[in-house]
Amino acid sequence: MSTLTANHIGLTFPTQIHPILEDIHLEIASGSLTTVLGESGCGKTTLLNILAGFQSPTTGQILLDHQPLHGPDASRAVVFQEHALFPWLNVQDNVAFSLEIQKIPSKVVEEKVAHILKIVGLDHVAQSNIWELSGGMKQRVGIARALISPAAFMLLDEPFAALDAFTRENMQQLVLDLWVKQKRSFFLITHDIEEALLLSETLIIMQARPGRITKRLTLDFSHRYRDGENIRSIKSDPQFIELREALFSELSHDMELKI
């Protein structure tokens, strides 16, 4: 069991005086579910970019099992908010891309891609062009591309923000199913309080100026799903509703339009 650690991370961009992130400390165990909620501009994407190795912090380090990481590697895979797909490749080739550039034999690639597409429910559109897919299907291709890597840590930046409520709930179920079956770790940024409550064992609340962690909640709604309860039943549970409303009133104060 490995652990990805953001070890007292701080970041100040060279062009700025004030820090974007200050003393962020976070331990993500493999097989865990962590979600981040916070007002726009508080540094969530920047934190994810640092965890992924795309951005270096000014202070602190990213550690994998106590060893410093420098830059991206196979331990972490990212799903972006925008579908970062190649429009000139079909579904199957988009998913296969990272394996093909590693010169893995085409028979092995074919089998892996078919397996992953089945897991995310896209096996029937393997040959389709990207522009023929719905928003939810495109996001599934993005997830399939991350899943085809051996990464233990999946980092997702508001992956379902553009989806309608029904598709969004299907995707939440997909994340929970993947977490239960594949035992990968998910680190997810969202603006949706219900999603944050459902998809986390640890819910992290951030505030801005400087971006910092102001609250951590330990939750077990995801464990109830793992134990067989369905999502609608969990979301309509009085305890879930009470927490949702408490968080809503707490965060609406932070998220008020700043003029």
Rounded distance, CA 189 to CA 196, Å? Answer: 8
Rank residues 78 and 116 by Cβ distance to Mg ion and give the closer one: 78
**Near ligand ATP in 38-67, by CB under 6 A:** 38, 40-46
Residue written as tokens 């981040």?
A: 36
Rank residues 17 and 101 by Cβ distance to ligand ATP and give the closer one: 17
Say which amino acid occupies 108: V
Contact between 12 and Mg ion per CB under 5 A: no
Structure tokens at 98: 């990272």
Rank residues 48 and 152 by Cβ distance to Mg ion and give the closer one: 48
Q: What are phi and psi of 5, to 5 degrees?
A: -120, 130
Q: Is 29 exposed, middle or buried (0-12, 13-18, 19+ CB in 10 A)?
A: middle
Q: Residue 43 touches which of Mg ion, ligand ATP, none (CB < 5 to 8 A by kind)?
A: ligand ATP
Structure tokens at 125: 């559109």
**Least distance in angstroms from the C-beta of 180 to ligand ATP:** 28
Structure tokens at 14: 């060279």
**Least distance in angstroms from the C-beta of 33 to ligand ATP:** 19
Q: Where are the beta strands (DSSP E) in the chain?
A: 3-11, 21-29, 33-38, 59-64, 67-68, 76-79, 153-157, 185-189, 202-207, 212-218
**Near ligand ATP in 13-42, by CB under 6 A:** 13, 20, 38, 40-42
Alpha-carbon separation of residue 199 from 126, 157, 165, 178, 257 (angstroms): 28, 13, 15, 12, 27
Each residue 27-66 as x (binds Mg ion by CB under 5 A) or -, in order, gives: ------------------x---------------------
For Mg ion, the nearest residue by Cβ is 45
Q: Residue 20 touches which of Mg ion, ligand ATP, none (CB < 5 to 8 A by kind)?
A: ligand ATP
User: Which residues are at the interface with Mg ion (CB under 5 A)?
Assistant: 45
User: Which residues are at the interface with ligand ATP (CB under 6 A)?
Assistant: 13, 20, 38, 40-46
